[in-house]
Amino acid sequence: MRKADDYASLSAFERWSLVALWWGTAGVSWLGWGGISHELVHQPGWVPEVWVSALVAGGIALDLAMGLWLALRPGAWACRAGVAVVLVFSALATAMVPQLWLHPLGPLLKNLPILALLWRGSRWNLLKVGS
């Protein structure tokens, strides 16, 4: 039996919003195969062309897995893994295409509220004020 603290402190709406985000991202990447996802990964000097499709496919698989984990086992560890994935993807995107931070639609800026939501669900109290 799972203990109460095994569950993420997210409402059902928040949890399913994150699931939709992960699955939606996987779907958009799949439907746009060979398009913008490949262009973003294939930055000159970063990734050899032979690896681009494998890396995009790996990203799709990871997005699907994160959505499935949050859908079926919405615990603190799923949110912690989500924090790690968002941080790693954001760091890689920043290193490869730093101008995404200045893009009018804010593809990387949107990761900040996603991180905040995942952080709350992770039940980490490292930044708890007044403790």
The residue extents of the domains of the chain are 11-122
Report helix, strand or coil for 7.
strand
Give me the pLDDT at residue 125, please. Answer: 60
C-alpha closest to that of 22 among 67, 75, 70 = 67
C-alpha closest to that of 85 among 53, 122, 127 = 122
Packed helices 12-31 and 49-72: angle between N→C axes, nearest 10 degrees: 160
Q: pLDDT tens, 54-104? A: 999 999 999 999 999 999 998 899 999 999 999 999 998 898 889 999 999
